[in-house]
Amino acid sequence: MSDIFALNFDGLSSPSIKLKLFDEAQASISTGWGFGWYPNNNQGAIVAKDPAARDTRILTEALMDWEKFRSTVFICKVMKGAKGYTNHETQPFSRSFAGRDWLFMHKGDLDKTKLQALHSNKSRFLEPLGRTDSEIAFCYLLGLMQDSNIRKLADIKPEVLLVWFEQFDQLGSADMILTDGNSLVCFHGTKSQTNMYYTRRKPPSKLNVFDSEIASIDLKDPRDTYRTALIFSSSSFPQGDWHQMQSGQLLISRRGSLIWDNKQGLQNFNYAYQSENSSDLMAGSLVGISEQQLSGSASLSSLSDSTQQALASLPHLSITNLRAMTHAPDGQALSYRTFDVTHVTSYEYEQIVEHSTHRFRLQPIEDQLQEVLLSSLKVSTGGEEIRYEDVFGNQSVHYSINVPYAQLSIESKSRVKVFACPPDDHSLSRRQTTIPLVWMPWQRQMMMAYLLPPELPETQLVELTDYAMSFVERNDYSLHHTLEDINQSIYNDYKYVQGTTSLNTTPFEVYTARKGVCQDFANLFICLARLLNIPARYRTGYIYTGANYENKLQSEASHAWAEVYLPYVGWRGYDPTNGCPVAQDHIRVACGRNYRDATPTSGTIFKGGGSEKLSVTVRIEEVNI
């Protein structure tokens, strides 16, 4: 009888793991065990094992300095009643390949004869040390990687990896776990006689101990309070929300998150093989190639020689007014949407207000992707009005009232066209696609306001930096995939709960509580981006939810999201509240370093007022004109 389990964290962690191998009734039964991890996230692994343990003394000695060995990946196999196994035949198996250590575990039995026939790669580096079918399977996988010029799991298309593991399904029971120290793969075969389970523990959580007949996993280390843990196991633990894997299911995890699942349709494998330009022009003649395609960004190398020569003889044509573009380079139709927005803010005061000043930022911006057809502002009490553009480019109104009032209403109405934007072409040489970004001194100087993280205690900034880097490492340092992952993870792992935060809530408090509202999620996104040296700013506006979003509360008030500046691209928006990029559902109004720079309405009462009652109503309607 054997059991395997693995832990994958989003940052370096030090779980306390105790194997329950012996009791008085089983003192005469030998047990084999093996344990592997990657200390301090190094590419070299440490494996401790005992093929015929009579007690846990060796295990205790191997892990006596456990707190010094922090890792994001831990795997373990226990085999009760093990006889005749040597150290070379005890799992997990470790093999150095392509500049890193790989660890592998298998629970089950495979047809050894057929497996040896399958293992055609006869490299001397891939010869098994022991005599088990499991090690042959491990060497076979590494042989496939060598034949495919693979250096890490992130280089393999998940569909290909699934085919590789499915080959073992034809040879017997195949519950397997494979890791290169960054990614971790778990496969549950269709012929397995037992089950496989997995769970994801997200902070904040009071569930710190998982206890079963085989092992006890303690996650109470104070340094790991905010770590997300993904746990795989062949035996279920009574604590937590465990999911039973389906037969033939392949799960790929990295840094505490599932990034690919063939059974649930999870396709979050954001790596280099997905970055190929999908807007290539058709090879052959120029017949049927539109003007939009000629002005696009497809690579000439994808065309035939005759087509390249014909294109080279034509003058370069580029449509620079995005509003005038009717089609993207790949032929996709681009159209605009029109919205009517009504925003009413009302104040009621306990005492008469005699003098106050206000600042309104309620007019949507106008640029290449947004056109304001009309905009009006009505204030219930007369005053001096000064219209101007503030330092962030927002259309602002300074309003001073010197007559008494007890109620004040500000009504803004706008009709806005939002134009579709063709997808960015990140294949161009000057567009940076990896982290860290390189900024010229004058660029850094101009962007300094958007690069400085909030003033927080050093320990909090260190924790947030580790959290931000977990996304970078999970996505192989890809800039765009990292930003998409942060955006989607905040949407998936944080709860939208009104009334639990305030304007003074910090990004670290949002990170620890894992809940908030749109401004909190925008602030957290901005903080993480700035810690990664990516300029980020706060954006306010509106979102047309229609029937597309579960949280319709956002359409009844101002919405907030984040924008990041990408080299040779410009400002691009990410909406972590909805886990989506900013598109035609979003109407942009004001921006700044933070909420205070972009708040729709603000003011100061110099005399009178007392307690204040505030109400805000927003109505957005899509119109066809």
Contact (Cβ atoms closer than 8 angstroms) between residue 345 and residue 613: no
Interval 35-79: pLDDT, tens: 999 998 899 999 988 887 766 666 666 565 655 678 999 999 988
- Alpha carbon of 268 to those of 203, 258, 623: distances in Å? 21, 8, 35
Domain with CATH 2.60.40.2250 in the chain: 336-420+601-623
Give the rounded percent of residues in the chain with a pLDDT score beyond 70. 85
Task: List strands edge to edge, sheet with 100-107.
Answer: 93-97, 100-107, 175-179, 183-188, 249-254, 257-261, 266-267
Predicted pLDDT at 56: 61
Domain with CATH 3.10.620.30 in the chain: 441-582
Averaged over successive runs of 10 residues, the pLDDT of the chain (625 residues) comes to 91 88 56 89 90 67 64 91 75 94 95 87 82 92 92 93 93 95 95 93 91 88 92 92 94 95 74 36 31 39 54 64 74 87 95 95 95 96 96 96 95 96 84 92 95 96 96 94 96 93 94 96 98 98 74 68 95 96 95 96 89 92 88
Contact (Cβ atoms closer than 8 angstroms) between residue 505 and residue 512: no
CATH architecture of 2-269: 4-Layer Sandwich (3.60)
- What CATH class is the domain 336-420+601-623? mainly beta
Q: Are strands 580-581 and 515-516 parallel, antiparallel or unpaired?
A: unpaired
Domain with CATH 3.60.20.10 in the chain: 2-269
Interval 21-37: pLDDT, tens: 765 445 556 678 899 99
Predicted pLDDT at 522: 97
Predicted pLDDT at 189: 94
Contact (Cβ atoms closer than 8 angstroms) between residue 357 and residue 603: yes
In this structure, the dihedral spanned by the alpha carbons of residues 603, 606, 612 and 618, taken in order and rounded to 10 degrees, is -20
CA distance linking residue 302 with residue 281, whole number of Å: 7
Interval 70-117: pLDDT, tens: 899 999 998 876 666 788 888 999 999 999 999 999 999 999 999 888
Predicted pLDDT at 32: 83
Residues near 292 by beta carbon (within 8 Å), at least 6 away in sequence: 319, 325, 326, 327, 328, 329, 331
In 167-222, DSSP assigns E strands to 175-179, 183-188, 197-201, 209-211, 215-218
Predicted pLDDT at 625: 75
Which residue from 555, 496, 560, 551 is spatially nearest to 523, judged by alpha carbons? 560
Decide if domain 441-582 falls under CATH 3.20.20.70.
no
Residue 586's φ and ψ, nearest 5 degrees, are: -105, 135
CA distance linking residue 37 with residue 110, whole number of Å: 26
Tokens of 92: 């997990």
CA distance linking residue 542 with residue 137, whole number of Å: 55
